[in-house]
Amino acid sequence: MMYTKEAIENMDRITRLKLFNAISGIKSANLIGTIGTNGTTNLAIFNSVVHIGSDPALVGFISRPQTSEVGHTLRNIQENGHYTINHVHPEFIKNAHYTSAKFEAHLSEFKQCKLTEEYTKGFQAPFVKESTFKMGVLFKEAIEIKLNGTFLVIGEIDHVMLPKNSFVDDDINLELTKSVGVSGLNTYYSLKKLEKHPFVRIHEVPKFLE
């Protein structure tokens, strides 16, 4: 199958949405936890969390255009400066998925989707208790992407909690953490470790052409 630019432009909105949310392949499924100035917590599923840098330890995610109905996550982050990123595991995929519903601002997705708030001393945002792999993140900046009105939200990792024995030989085994991948908006995958290769140095590159 091949789609030209003209065919893409003529697609109905839902078909285009599903195609281009899945086209980049399997991504990590994460729940981002925040709390507003009024004390109401918020939880939303994201498939766009990416590594930005290691020193300092930075992560980013894409926030949709802000409206009065959506955008509670970014507003809370900008107001509070703290947020959490929590891996999704098979036991609560369904609960995590339904946090994407457009709940009213005064309702907490934690309660509506039966997930549990968890707090760490000195960190002002809720973690997901059911998640065994989670990060506390400090907000650094939100860069507007003018092409579509979204924002790249960048934060510095302040806390990391992960399953015992999952960090082995300087490598996180995501199969052992039972972290879940997502394709598009609503299809979830388990992760299986296939191969591991050494850090690449030019003199160690295999001679593929021989």
Q: Could you tell me the CATH number of the domain that includes residue 131?
A: 2.30.110.10
pLDDT value for 76: 94
**Residue 179 within a domain:** yes
**Residue 144 within a domain:** yes
103 forms bridges with which residues in the sheet? Answer: none
Structural domains of the chain, count: 1
Work out the percent of the chain whose per-residue pLDDT is above 70.
98
91 compared with 196, residue with greater pLDDT: 91
**Residue 4 within a domain:** no
Q: Per-residue pLDDT for 194 more than 60?
A: yes
Q: Can you tell me the mean pLDDT for 113-134? A: 96
**Residue 34 within a domain:** yes
Question: What confidence tier does 67 reach under pLDDT thresholds 50, 70, 90?
Answer: low
**Residue 5 within a domain:** no
Q: Can you tell me the mean pLDDT for 125-133? A: 98
**Residue 15 within a domain:** no
Q: Per-residue pLDDT for 69 more than 70?
A: no
150 compared with 24, residue with greater pLDDT: 150
- Structural domain including 150 reads 26-204
Query: Average pLDDT over the chain, rounded to whole?
Result: 92
CA distance 38 to 165: 39
10 forms bridges with which residues in the sheet? Answer: none
Position of tokens 């199958």?
Answer: 1
Runs of H (alpha helix) within the chain? 5-9, 13-22, 72-80, 93-97, 109-112, 174-177
**Residue 143 within a domain:** yes
pLDDT value for 185: 85
**Residue 176 within a domain:** yes
Q: Per-residue pLDDT for 210 more than 90?
A: no
Check if the beta carbon of residue 161 is closer than 8 Å to that of residue 123: no
Question: Cα–chain-centroid distance for residue 186?
Answer: 14
CA distance 59 to 51: 5
Question: What confidence tier does 70 reach under pLDDT thresholds 50, 70, 90?
Answer: low
